[in-house]
Copies of this chain bind each other. A is one copy, B any other.
Amino acid sequence: MYLTHALHRALQQAPDRTMTVCGDRVRTTREVVDRVARLAAAFQGLGVNVDDRVGLLALNSDHHQEFFFASWWMGAVAHPLNTRWAAAEIAYALTDSGTEVLLVDDSFAALGPELRERAPVLQTLVYCGDGPTPEGMLNYEELLAAFEPVPDLRRGGDNVAFLLYTGGTTGTPKGVRVTDRGLQTSMMSSLITTGAALPDGVNLLTAPLFHIGALTGWYAQNLVGGTLVFLPKFTPEGALEAIKEHRVTSTTLVPVMVQMICNHPDLGSYDLSGVQRVTYGGAGSPESLLRLAMKVFPTARFTQGYGMTETCVLTSLNHEDHVRGGARLRSAGRATPAIELAVVGKDGQRLPVGEVGEVVTRGDHLMAGYWDKPELTAQTVRDGWLHTGDGGYLDEDGYLYIVDRLKDMIITGGENVYSAEVENAVAAHSAVASCVVIGVPDDHWGERVHAVIVLKPGHTATPEEIRAHAKTLIAGYKTPRTVEFVDSMPLSAAGKILKRELRAARANG
């Protein structure tokens, strides 16, 4: 198996099908493959060697399709950069990874001089925007025109496909090396279970393509063959329009996107009946939101994935229960074929059904390790098992329930409280748009259960109403003792709420 297989298969089976759509730009398989082989030649011409990293700093576009496949075509590692990071963070990732060639679009071209300054490793900037080429940069289209297609090196197996820097919700950024085998295993296993990308389907790519959840959705659609619709930035209108115009069959959304679509005032005027698959990332989405989303996309099968960059997005998948609209909606799902999943205690021994411990996973889906961090890799992957740092338990049918990040668990008055459970109870209140529960230091309780809440527009609620509501769903000791209303939550680049920031700001109780 090799990384560019999807292109060759599409060329054999659907050479004139539309492969990419990006605004007004529409390209067939044949056109994309030609451009990929030229861009690969350009990378070689710019001095990129096999296993070197090539960077892309851009909003979602058809350039992503060409960039990823061209990197693999000539043996390089694709390094898509986090578009929500500050210049210093981007420069860190470029320097740490030794990325010498970087593509930038119109949104990031102005950052060029600062990046050069902060990351002297950077040799070449390639501008893939629509305006005049900034000084000191090469032009993407001119490069494609100047270079003749080169043969595909057909790299795969244990070769690294992506270098992805993570660090959104935890500590220092680190580069995760995602292999060809990891991608294949993860995507084949999840496609068997969910069919999340439909053969010959149309996939809307609106989640940012530097995040593993978005990247695997993109890869899966290529694997089975189909059309990729790139949306530069998520807006509910943009997504709804694209779904209508391109008859989208599959998409990947993060919870906040689902929420924005569900809350959109003109929702009723859009025909969403063509959407057959919705994958949404991140365990612990409020059940109430999911139930609403299932009404908004009435013909879609919902898939909830639990995983992370280090596990190539996969650890468990839940869709059977979504199909049945069943009682396990809150579960992160079960291990898929070829993936091992277990819950272990501090001694590494497997725990019985129902007991909370650390979630671990083993299989070919795991990363090849962190970039240049052998010690951290060795701490994270032990005896072949990747330690997720998440607390959870399995039920008697192998369904996984994530209760919390291990370090997010609250100990209050000697009792363990899982913030996710409390969040779910609070979020079920009709006035609550989103909610985070953290432990804050407390003289009496050790830690106190504290809720931070964003209300829905036009809704009101008092702390007492929230507490009274929560008490109808969870035990008294789990109910937030204090409740705080805020206008918005701090979000990571991938759209996840940054709990550590909320916690840090309340470290004095």
Contact = CB atoms under 8 A, between A and B. Distances in A.
Interface of A: 1, 5-6, 8-9, 12-15, 184-185, 188-189, 191-193, 195, 199, 223-224, 320, 334-335, 337-338, 340-341, 363-364, 394, 396-398
Nearest to A14: B397
Given A12-B334, A13-B398, A188-B192, 10 more contacts: A1-B338, A1-B363, A5-B338, A6-B337, A8-B340, A12-B341, A15-B396, A188-B189, A191-B192, A193-B224
B337 A223 contact: yes
A6 to B, nearest CB: 8
A337 B192 contact: no
**Residue of A5, A12, A341 contacting most chain B CB atoms (<10 Å):** A12
Contacts of A337: 5-6, 9, 188, 223-224
Question: What is the count of identical protomers in the complex?
Answer: 2
A312 to B, nearest CB: 14
Contacts of A189: 188
A8 B1 CA distance: 26
Given A199-B193, A363-B1, A364-B1, A338 B188 contact: yes
Contacts of A335: 9, 12-13
Nearest to A9: B335
Nearest to A341: B12
A199 B337 CA distance: 10
Which of A184, A195, A224, A338 is packed against the most chain B CB atoms within 10 Å?
A338
A197 to B, nearest CB: 9
A6 B193 CA distance: 14
Contacts of A188: 188-189, 192, 337-338
Nearest to A223: B337
A48 B65 CA distance: 51
A12 B224 contact: no
A13 B399 CA distance: 7
Contacts of A192: 188, 191-192, 195, 199, 223-224
A320 B198 CA distance: 12
